[in-house]
Amino acid sequence: MNQDQALIEILNHAIELEYGALFLMPQHIARLGQSELAAGLRKAVRDELNHAEATASIIVALGGVPKADFKLLRPMETPEEMLRVHLAGEKQSIALYREAEMKASRPEHQRVLRRLLSDEERHQQMFTSLLARLEGAKDTPA
């Protein structure tokens, strides 16, 4: 497998994660109502849509075909579970975009991938601190 094919494979995996987030986030937002967590997810979901588009564009530019094997995901019940599932997704995305950035040979693709990486790192930070606050609130006696 050459470098571009390896990159296409990584990016197709990244698109699967983006679709997973895009599928779950609106359902979680609806269940959460008006809350800080819902507001955070609402911001992130716009980024994820942009990421799915940007990732697919790189695949096409490399002569590949964007395709995602989408697994049907079940929405989570509690805010903690929601945060954990999105946090896990961000971590996987960070690992993939890091690997993709190293494999990318065109500067314009490296630039895009660095932007996606920094978005995911921001999401990871946001979900981590929201989860810490949620867990802290649970431990504090009423």
Residue 16 binds Fe ion, judged by CB under 5 A: no
Which residues between 36 and 55 bind Fe ion (CB under 5 A)? 48, 51
- Using CA atoms, how far residue 104 sits from 13, 24, 58, 117, in Å, is 15, 29, 10, 13
101 binds Fe ion (CB under 5 A): no
Tokens of 86: 């999105």
* Residues 50-89, mask of contacts with Fe ion (x by CB under 5 A): -x--------------------------------------
Residues 111 and 114: their CA atoms lie apart, in Å, by 5
Tell me the site size for Fe ion, rule CB under 5 A: 6
From the DSSP assignment, how many helices (H) and strands (E) are in the chain?
Answer: 4, 0
Stretch that binds Fe ion, among 28-36, 58-66, 102-110, 119-127 (CB under 5 A): 119-127
Q: CA-CA distance, 43 to 122, in Å (whole number)?
A: 11
Residues that bind Fe ion (CB under 5 A): 18, 48, 51, 90, 120, 123
